């Protein structure tokens, strides 16, 4: 176990933080909410030369992001707090883990990113699982991180997490963007993932309705952390003729989505996403199909080039929200979305978005707001204004505050 680091406050050594009160979980001690953390303001971490690739600036198989800013210490304006964070997530540029890493960077923290990047084959599974886990553990140890954030975590074992805890004394966090009790809207439970919950210090979830159930399944500290948007990817982009239409839906196929979106086939409607070509048998809806899922910047342009973005929230997300709940309003277009309590608290119906209950109402409200340019644009503008208060930088600030309670 590495020696406990010391705080520095305006040049004065304070010694190790020892909590007077709080709960104890294994070797991890959670402090009362004093605002004090163990992060010592050591500044930017210089990567060990052995981890650099031949280009000298990027890592093999993972990215190490150097912090550009500084986070102010609430204990004093002249003091900064710095934290080294390792994020383990998907390799896509727009993956949730990447957006979290950028949010942490913008707060002034040093961030390393290990790509899960598993080569998975049907009936066989991932072939390079051990390689990914070795990179995960090695990076955490080499950089002596203060905190680890695992995105999803279906491939991570409790033993791997405990080994990282022993070698780094890091606070272990998990944020799963799925509902582990209803995988892909089916009654399938992610049992292996649930078995790892006791190994995490903090488990974050986007769904308030999941809090109690995750606690019952072994998570000691569960906290609500809703989705958000990344201003680097979600913004009112310049409209492009390729994506110009009245109504658009961007998302993969599901039977529920087919049932709802079939109500829009008489409109100027563009449908884009994976698996529609192979699974959708509504021929009128297939005529609205314009291609597979879009990456950045096409995804951003497509949302900004339509009058209305339709959001069909999957059953496993209800009664909460999904990621598109925040991404669509950020584009500047009107979001028409499934009615849910979770979305209502962020974007009230008829104020910052428009909600529907069934395919018939979806058809009606889309037609209504296509005919009313002034009201459509006014609601879209309020949605765009309100979403500015929900970024992944702000979400990561909440995560950092939670981690500081353990340091």
Q: What does the pLDDT look like over 302-317, one tens digit per residue?
A: 999 999 999 999 999 9
Residue 263 in any domain: the answer is: yes
pLDDT at residue 16 greater than cutoff 60: no
Distance CA 385, CA 313 (A): 22
Burial 78-93 (b: 16+ CB within 10 A, else e): ebbbbbbbbbbbbbee
Q: What is the pLDDT of residues 259-306, one digit of tens each?
A: 999 999 999 999 999 999 999 999 999 999 999 999 999 999 999 999
The reported pLDDT for the residue numbered 5 is 31
The reported pLDDT for the residue numbered 123 is 54
pLDDT at residue 173 greater than cutoff 90: yes
CB count in 10 Å sphere of residue 214 = 21
Q: What is the pLDDT of residues 315-335, one digit of tens each?
A: 999 999 999 999 999 999 999
pLDDT at residue 19 greater than cutoff 60: no
Distance CA 254, CA 396 (A): 31
Q: In this structure, are 324 and 396 located in the same domain?
A: no
Q: What is the mean pLDDT of residues 53-64?
A: 30
Q: What is the mean pLDDT of residues 183-212?
A: 92
Interacting residues of 173 by C-beta distance below 8 A, sequence separation 6+: 147, 148, 149, 150, 200, 201, 202, 203, 204, 399, 402, 403
Query: 57-66, 106-115, 283-292, 368-377: which has the minimum mean pLDDT?
Result: 57-66
Distance CA 321, CA 317 (A): 6
Number of domains the chain is built from: 2
Q: In this structure, are 286 and 251 located in the same domain?
A: yes
Query: 77-91, 199-213, 326-340, 358-372: which has the minimum mean pLDDT?
Result: 77-91
Q: Are 25 and 201 in contact (CB under 8 A)?
A: yes
Tell me the percentage of the chain whose pLDDT exceeds 70. Answer: 77
pTM over 0.85: no
Q: In this structure, are 205 and 245 located in the same domain?
A: no
User: Domain of 137: which CATH number?
Assistant: 3.40.50.2000
Q: What is the mean pLDDT of residues 362-370?
A: 98
Q: What is the mean pLDDT of residues 246-256?
A: 97
Phi/psi at 269 (5° precision)? -120, 130
The reported pLDDT for the residue numbered 91 is 87
Query: 31-40, 155-164, 281-290, 346-355: which has the minimum mean pLDDT?
Result: 31-40
Interacting residues of 78 by C-beta distance below 8 A, sequence separation 6+: 10
Q: In this structure, are 163 and 262 located in the same domain?
A: no
Q: In this structure, are 363 and 398 located in the same domain?
A: no
CA nearest neighbour of 155 among 179, 183, 127: 127
The reported pLDDT for the residue numbered 92 is 87
Q: Phi/psi zone of residue 318: left (φ > 0), alpha (ψ -120 to 50 degrees), beta?
A: beta
pLDDT at residue 393 greater than cutoff 90: yes
Q: Taking each helix axis as running N to C, give the angle between helix 359-370 and helix 373-387, from 0 to 180 degrees, rounded to the nearest 10.
A: 110
Q: Are 337 and 331 in contact (CB under 8 A)?
A: no
The reported pLDDT for the residue numbered 116 is 85
The reported pLDDT for the residue numbered 82 is 86
Q: What is the mean pLDDT of residues 393-407?
A: 95
Q: What is the mean pLDDT of residues 93-119?
A: 91
Q: In this structure, are 175 and 319 located in the same domain?
A: no
- Give the number of residues written for the chain: 407
Residue 1 in any domain: the answer is: no
* Structure tokens, 58: 């990027």
* Structure tokens, 130: 């051990």
Q: What is the mean pLDDT of residues 332-341?
A: 98
Residue 236 in any domain: the answer is: no
The reported pLDDT for the residue numbered 182 is 92
Question: How would residue 188 be classed by pLDDT, with cut points 50, 70 and 90?
Answer: confident
Residue 234 in any domain: the answer is: no
Please state, rounded to an integer, the average pLDDT across all residues of the chain: 82
Q: In this structure, are 211 and 263 located in the same domain?
A: no
The reported pLDDT for the residue numbered 60 is 28
Q: Which domain holds residue 219?
A: 7-228+392-404
Q: In this structure, are 196 and 298 located in the same domain?
A: no
Q: Which residue did the predictor score with more confidence, 267 or 10?
A: 267
SS3 helix, strand, coil % of the chain, rounded to 5? 35, 20, 45
Greatest Cα pair distance in the chain = 72
The residues that bridge with 150 in the sheet, in sequence order, are: 88, 174
For residue 343, the surrounding DSSP H or E stretch is helix 341-344
Exposure of 317 in the CB half-sphere (CA atoms within 13 A)? 23
Q: What is the pLDDT of residues 124-144, one digit of tens each?
A: 555 567 888 999 999 999 999
Q: In this structure, are 73 and 215 located in the same domain?
A: yes
Q: In this structure, are 396 and 357 located in the same domain?
A: no
């Amino acid at each position: 176990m590495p020696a406990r680091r010391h705080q520095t406050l305006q040049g004065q050594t304070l010694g190790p933080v020892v909590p007077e009160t709080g709960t104890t979980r294994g070797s991890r001690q959670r402090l009362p909410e004093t605002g004090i953390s163990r992060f010592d303001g050591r500044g930017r971490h210089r990567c060990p030369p052995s981890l650099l690739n031949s280009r000298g600036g990027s890592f093999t198989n993972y990215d190490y992001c150097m912090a550009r800013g500084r986070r102010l210490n609430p204990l004093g304006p002249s003091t900064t707090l710095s934290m080294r964070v390792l994020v383990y997530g998907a390799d896509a540029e727009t993956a949730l883990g990447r957006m979290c890493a950028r949010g942490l960077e913008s707060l002034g923290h040093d961030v390393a990113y290990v790509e899960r990047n598993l080569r998975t084959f049907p009936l066989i599974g991932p072939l390079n699982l051990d390689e990914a886990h070795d990179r995960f553990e090695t990076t955490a140890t080499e950089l002596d991180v203060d905190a680890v954030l695992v995105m999803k975590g279906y491939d991570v074992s409790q033993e791997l997490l405990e080994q990282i805890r022993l070698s780094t004394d890091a606070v272990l966090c998990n944020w799963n963007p799925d509902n582990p009790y209803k995988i892909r809207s089916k009654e399938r439970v992610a049992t292996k993932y649930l078995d790892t919950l006791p190994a995490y210090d903090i488990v974050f979830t986007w769904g308030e309705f999941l809090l109690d159930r995750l606690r019952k399944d072994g998570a000691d500290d569960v906290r609500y952390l809703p989705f958000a948007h990344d201003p680097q990817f979600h913004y009112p982009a310049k409209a492009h003729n390729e994506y110009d239409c009245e109504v658009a839906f961007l998302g993969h196929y599901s039977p529920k989505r087919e049932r709802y979106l079939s109500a829009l086939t008489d409109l100027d409607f563009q449908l884009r996403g994976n698996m529609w070509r192979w699974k959708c048998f509504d021929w009128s809806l297939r005529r609205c199909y314009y291609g597979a899922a879009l990456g950045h910047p096409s995804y951003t342009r497509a949302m900004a080039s339509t009058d209305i973005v339709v959001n069909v929230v999957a059953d496993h997300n209800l009664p909460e929200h999904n990621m598109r709940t925040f991404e669509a309003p950020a584009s500047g277009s009107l979001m028409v979305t499934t009615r849910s309590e979770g979305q209502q608290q962020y974007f009230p119906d008829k104020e910052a978005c428009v909600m529907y209950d069934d395919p018939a109402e979806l058809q009606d409200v889309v037609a209504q707001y296509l005919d009313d340019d002034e009201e459509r644009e006014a609601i879209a503008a309020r949605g765009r204004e309100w979403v500015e208060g929900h970024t992944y930088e702000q979400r990561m600030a909440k995560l950092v505050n939670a981690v500081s309670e353990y340091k």
